[in-house]
A and B are shown apart, each in its own frame.
Chain A
């Protein structure tokens, strides 16, 4: 089932094709799968929202695409960029991909920016390390263009500013300018607005969306903010305990969720229109995402927290079934194993 058919010559490889991706991280000396069998494709100008609670593998999924996994982690499956498998790349090979093909911005721009260098210096550094040659005047002009592209109010002044002199929203814009310096085809944005105030966050999300359209950027938008994801993404991937539980067009997944997990996630969001119901309880999901060391195997990982749990959920792991406008990994939509026949009592 294709979820988004973007025109591309027959037989040509997708911009990005992730197949059966598996990221194992060491927990107490044992490798445990934190991302387990994730597959998707991405085309230029497309945006994919990756949502789920903390601990579901969203960030590791994003970081695996730029080879920034934690020490001791092991990558499995394949990541194909225009047909080339990145999984076997050397550090030098990754250097040609990271920033130049796939850019990354994450939550805390303050941690990504060098506090003792000006914004201009850092963008110029990103430009030259991504293979741009030219005189310092050329690099400076390009840096200025990038700052204007991310809607810096005063790009000339910003070139000479240090990160601590910028507001949170401006720092995130500067971080975006650096990520775009290598002219990547794909941008991984990991919770890009989680540390920003809501009025500023909305501006930054609008900016990222404009960059996607103007540059034809393929966007992977990792977030726990379902309302923003629903508004801005083309497709959605809902992760639970490292596995995709629902995928499809974002509009369908978020307005008509199928998997009980997606439904519960959406139901737990307080809404402004609820203000008249002061004191009304929120719809919480009981329990927590299972710890990496205690992930149930051979059954549905969400079953212990699921309000719709029934017998098959504990007997086998569900496969994807067509549901709503997409796919859901849940026995409610079929594929349940036949009931175990009970031996007749004599």
Chain B
């Protein structure tokens, strides 16, 4: 643990100088004191079975902020780095460089008791409750574990708190004495949410919380997350590949492509009028609801392949329908493209959604 910290600290010192609150890189910074502000996060992994020194840039300079009680969605395809960003925020992994301010603290610098106490305020819900719950531990013990570990409740008080938490997510008291295998996928996700809420966090990182569920059950869980947000003034970092769902839950959306945010802004505006060509292609690939006219799809050749990373120019250029020579030579910065909106494209808004 100690050596890990030291290495990470060295990484920060060796990394590029951090850009402070530059509105171009942190468009959410309009809020005077966001609950969470991440600045220029970077994380790369050594690629095995490749020449030494080959790195995969999972997160390549990402900045964003989340206001109290609000939801920021990170959308992108698998391999875009959105899950890694969530893990960096939850401190399950250390970034190579960058800064995270959370709830008034230098989040990455916290250690020991300070970290343990502050961790109460930031929890995570994973995609697959099958693997995030302990199969051999009773539900009541798992939901109460964070309270027990944090020394927040014991004995009868703990049992009562667990009962209330289970009720909060729509599960009855009898669930406490049962095991995860006795529950359906949707119920298991309710249990994972109850566990995350035990310490009354201010921010919950939700990493694809419903993508393992049927739409009919996913809707139950999404409604629960919305209810809880209203009741408890929770902020969410909502990681998802499902754009229509994000439209329902997120105030703001950041579109992630190969480890970079390529577009950021209020969800409804970004979906209605994307400024980045990748966002436009993503929106156009969502199947239209039955009965509605099918809009034309913007085809983008090839695939989002994390290994095939380019060093110069725009990461999306090889697939971009409107790429020009400049795009292959120079990487466009994430720059303001209207009130509260930003896009990393030299030709923002040029590729319009068909039919708009």
Q: Say whether A and B bind each other.
A: yes
Residues of A within 8 A of B (CB): 53-54, 153, 167-170, 197-203, 224-228, 230-231, 254-256, 264-266, 268-286, 288
A168 and B78 in contact, given A198-B286, A275-B272 (Cβ under 8 angstroms) = yes
Contact across chains for A275 and B248 when beta carbons are under 8 A apart: yes
Q: Which residue of A lies closest to B245 (CB)?
A: A270
Contact across chains for B216 and A268 when beta carbons are under 8 A apart: yes
Say which residue of B230, B244, B285 sits within 8 Å of A199 (CB atoms). B285
Say which residue of B215, B289, B299 sits within 8 Å of A203 (CB atoms). B299
Per-residue 0/1 for B76-110: is the Cβ within 8 Å of any A Cβ (1 yes, 0 no)?
Answer: 01100000000000000000000000000000000
Say which residue of A197, A224, A230 sits within 8 Å of B241 (CB atoms). A197
Q: Give the docked Cα–Cα distance between A278 and B288 (Å).
A: 19
Contact across chains for B77 and A198 when beta carbons are under 8 A apart: yes
Which chain B positions have C-beta within 8 A of A276?
247, 268, 272
Query: Is B255 among interface residues, defined by CB-CB distance under 8 A?
Result: no
Query: Is B9 among interface residues, defined by CB-CB distance under 8 A?
Result: no
Contact across chains for A275 and B271 when beta carbons are under 8 A apart: yes
Say which residue of B215, B226, B241, B267 sits within 8 Å of A265 (CB atoms). B215
Contact across chains for B214 and A266 when beta carbons are under 8 A apart: no
Which chain B positions have C-beta within 8 A of A271?
244, 289
What's the nearest-Cβ distance from chain A to residue B256, in Å?
12
Per-residue 0/1 for B200-233: is the Cβ within 8 Å of any A Cβ (1 yes, 0 no)?
Answer: 0000000000000011111110110010001000
Contact across chains for B303 and A272 when beta carbons are under 8 A apart: no
List CB contacts (< 8 Å) of B271-326 with chain A: 271-272, 281-283, 285-292, 294, 297, 299-305
Which chain B positions have C-beta within 8 A of A286?
220
Q: Which residue of A lies closest to B71 (CB)?
A: A278
Query: Is B145 among interface residues, defined by CB-CB distance under 8 A?
Result: no
What's the nearest-Cβ distance from chain B to residue A260, in Å?
12
What's the nearest-Cβ distance from chain A to residue B18, in Å?
32
Contact across chains for A269 and B289 when beta carbons are under 8 A apart: yes
Contact across chains for B290 and A278 when beta carbons are under 8 A apart: no
Contact across chains for B271 and A270 when beta carbons are under 8 A apart: no
What's the nearest-Cβ distance from chain A to residue B233, in Å?
14
What's the nearest-Cβ distance from chain B to residue A78, in Å?
30
Query: Is B327 among interface residues, defined by CB-CB distance under 8 A?
Result: no
Which chain B positions have C-beta within 8 A of A256?
291
Contact across chains for B248 and A270 when beta carbons are under 8 A apart: yes
A–B Cβ pairs within 8 angstroms, 9 of them: A153-B302, A197-B77, A197-B78, A198-B285, A265-B215, A265-B216, A275-B247, A278-B248, A285-B216
- The interface centre, meaning the residue of A198, A271, A285 with most chain B CB atoms within 10 A of its CB, is A198
List CB contacts (< 8 Å) of B34-92 with chain A: 77-78
Which chain A positions have C-beta within 8 A of B294?
231
Say which residue of A53, A266, A270, A280 sits within 8 Å of B244 (CB atoms). A270
Count how many chain B residues have C-beta atoms less than 8 Å from C-beta atoms of the other chain: 52
Count of A-B contacts with CB under 8 A? 142
Q: Give the docked Cα–Cα distance between A264 and B215 (Å).
A: 10
Which chain A positions have C-beta within 8 A of B250?
278
Which chain A positions have C-beta within 8 A of B289?
227, 230, 266, 269, 271, 273
Q: Give the docked Cα–Cα distance between A229 and B90 (Å).
A: 38
Contact across chains for A199 and B247 when beta carbons are under 8 A apart: no
What's the nearest-Cβ distance from chain B to residue A5, in Å?
23
Per-residue 0/1 for B114-139: is the Cβ within 8 Å of any A Cβ (1 yes, 0 no)?
Answer: 00000000000000000000000000
Q: Give the docked Cα–Cα distance between A180 and B299 (Å).
A: 25
Query: Is B251 among interface residues, defined by CB-CB distance under 8 A?
Result: yes
Which chain A positions have C-beta within 8 A of B243?
198, 272
Q: Which residue of B lies closest to A167 (CB)?
A: B303
Contact across chains for B248 and A53 when beta carbons are under 8 A apart: no
Contact across chains for B283 and A272 when beta carbons are under 8 A apart: yes
Contact across chains for B285 and A281 when beta carbons are under 8 A apart: no
Q: Which residue of A lies closest to B185 (CB)?
A: A54
Which chain A positions have C-beta within 8 A of B245?
270
What's the nearest-Cβ distance from chain A to residue B322, in Å?
16
What's the nearest-Cβ distance from chain A to residue B38, in Å?
22
Query: Is B168 among interface residues, defined by CB-CB distance under 8 A?
Result: no
Q: Which residue of A lies closest to B267 (CB)?
A: A275
Contact across chains for A270 and B247 when beta carbons are under 8 A apart: yes
Contact across chains for A288 and B186 when beta carbons are under 8 A apart: yes
What's the nearest-Cβ distance from chain B to residue A150, in Å?
15
Q: Which residue of A lies closest to B301 (CB)?
A: A153
Per-residue 0/1 for B173-194: is the Cβ within 8 Å of any A Cβ (1 yes, 0 no)?
Answer: 0000000000011110000000
Contact across chains for B297 and A202 when beta carbons are under 8 A apart: yes
Which chain A positions have C-beta within 8 A of B215?
224, 226, 265, 268-270
A227 and B287 in contact, given A197-B241, A285-B219 (Cβ under 8 angstroms) = yes
Contact across chains for A274 and B286 when beta carbons are under 8 A apart: no
- The interface centre, meaning the residue of A225, A265, A270, A273 with most chain B CB atoms within 10 A of its CB, is A270
Contact across chains for A224 and B290 when beta carbons are under 8 A apart: no
A270 and B184 in contact, given A198-B286, A264-B216, A278-B248 (Cβ under 8 angstroms) = no
What's the nearest-Cβ distance from chain A to residue B136, in Å?
20
A283 and B219 in contact, given A198-B77, A254-B290, A275-B271 (Cβ under 8 angstroms) = yes
Nearest 4 pairs between A and B by C-beta?
Answer: A275-B247, A254-B290, A230-B290, A197-B77
A282 and B291 in contact, given A198-B282, A274-B248 (Cβ under 8 angstroms) = no
Contact across chains for B305 and A277 when beta carbons are under 8 A apart: no
Which chain A positions have C-beta within 8 A of B77?
197-200
Say which residue of A53, A278, A283 sits within 8 Å of B217 (CB atoms). A53
Q: Give the docked Cα–Cα distance between A96 and B164 (Å).
A: 59
Q: Give the docked Cα–Cα distance between A201 and B281 (Å).
A: 13
Q: Give the docked Cα–Cα distance between A274 and B288 (Å).
A: 12
Contact across chains for B244 and A255 when beta carbons are under 8 A apart: no
- The interface centre, meaning the residue of A273, A274, A284 with most chain B CB atoms within 10 A of its CB, is A284
Q: Give the docked Cα–Cα distance between A197 and B268 (Å).
A: 21
Q: Give the docked Cα–Cα distance between A24 and B267 (Å).
A: 47
Which chain B positions have C-beta within 8 A of A203?
299
Q: Which residue of A lies closest to B291 (CB)?
A: A255
Q: Give the docked Cα–Cα distance between A287 and B6 (Å).
A: 50
Q: Give the docked Cα–Cα distance between A255 and B289 (Å).
A: 9
Contact across chains for B219 and A199 when beta carbons are under 8 A apart: no
- The interface centre, meaning the residue of B215, B226, B248, B283 with most chain A CB atoms within 10 A of its CB, is B215
Query: Is B249 among interface residues, defined by CB-CB distance under 8 A?
Result: yes
